[in-house]
Amino acid sequence: MNKLWLRLALRMARAIVSIQFHSMSPSGKNNPVPLRVAGREDESVRVLISRERIRKRIKELARKIRADFQGEPLHLVGVLKGAVFFLADLARQMPGEVSFDFIAVSSYGDETHSSGQVRLTRDLDSSIEGKTVIVVEDILDTGMTMQYLLSIFQQRKPKHLRVAALLDKPERRLTAVQADYVGFRIPNEFVVGYGLDYAERYRNLLDVGVLTIGKARKKKSARRKHKKAANDDRASS
């Protein structure tokens, strides 16, 4: 009799662990409920683009870029930090000669809205003169960051200058900047995962998801938005 109870208890414990594991796993097919992180109960992430779709789309983009520049060495310039996974996957799907470098910028604003004032915080290691450069960015939002980067890069006389953005939020655009290669057009929602962050968190999620912040945090965030820009300096990527 005791053994039966023990077996029953073990089975129940296993079931509970399994339910918890699925709801905490970094999303994907097996995650029917939004992801929540311990200690961040007022935030949740709902999957928008699964890791499978991302992988498939990046393969297509890599082939398209290579087809446009057949036989040419390609120099990928990743915008830190949001574009790291995109660049890593894009580079590895790309046949032929590929090199890469990174640049970092910071923009003033709160955690979900950029003010559009951009400054360089880390420059490239090497010259891009005469190279076929693909700027690799996580997301085109207002387009201010990319406009700033393209103006810098153009002065350095690359042979070709193109933009690859994993995500594009065309509704939010304040500039004429367009990406030559876009992974996914998304609605005007704040997204995290696959490199994209909220206050430096969620970059490690394998999928891209929409972040929902609870009421308390939203109010705080709105207040912060109206604070002096210099106090809210943050890494944009």
Catalytically annotated residues? 141
**Between residues 159 and 217, which has the closer beta carbon with respect to ligand IMP?**
217
| Amino acid letter, residue 43 | E
Q: Does 145 bind ligand IMP (CB under 6 A)?
A: yes
Please state, as a whole number, how many other Cβ atoms lie within 10 Å of the Cβ of residue 195.
27
Question: How many residues in the shown chain lie near ligand IMP by CB under 6 A?
Answer: 19
CB of 112: closest distance to ligand IMP in angstroms?
7
Q: How far apart are CA 194 and CA 88, in angstroms?
A: 11
Q: How far apart are CA 111 and CA 107, in angstroms?
A: 10
CB of 135: closest distance to Mg ion in angstroms?
11
CB of 37: closest distance to ligand IMP in angstroms?
16
Q: How far apart are CA 207 and CA 191, in angstroms?
A: 10
Q: How far apart are CA 51 and CA 86, in angstroms?
A: 12
Residues between 101 and 120 with contacts to Mg ion, criterion CB under 5 A: none
Considering only 74, 144, 166, 182, the residue that binds ligand IMP (CB under 6 A) is 144
Report the Cα 37 to chain-centroid distance in Å. Answer: 19
Q: How far apart are CA 143 and CA 179, in angstroms?
A: 10
Considering only 89, 138, 168, 197, the residue that binds Mg ion (CB under 5 A) is 138
Q: Does 106 bind ligand IMP (CB under 6 A)?
A: no
Reference 53, options 140, 134, 167; nearest CA is 167
- Backbone dihedral angles phi then psi of residue 25, each to the nearest 5 degrees: -65, 150
Q: Does 82 bind ligand IMP (CB under 6 A)?
A: yes
CB of 218: closest distance to ligand IMP in angstroms?
15
Q: Does 138 bind ligand IMP (CB under 6 A)?
A: yes
User: Exposed (0-12), middle (13-18) or buried (19+): which is 69, by Cβ within 10 Å?
Assistant: middle
Q: Does 207 bind ligand IMP (CB under 6 A)?
A: no
Q: Does 82 bind Mg ion (CB under 5 A)?
A: yes
CB of 190: closest distance to ligand IMP in angstroms?
4
CB 91 within 8 A of CB 211: no
- Of 6-14, 21-29, 67-75, 189-197, which segment contacts ligand IMP by CB under 6 A? 189-197
Helix (H) or strand (E) holding 115: strand 114-122
**Between residues 110 and 141, which has the closer beta carbon with respect to ligand IMP?**
141
- Of 2-10, 81-89, 95-103, 204-212, which segment contacts Mg ion by CB under 5 A? 81-89
192, two tokens: 């995290």
Positions in the binding site for ligand IMP (CB under 6 A): 82, 107, 114, 137-146, 190-192, 196, 236-237
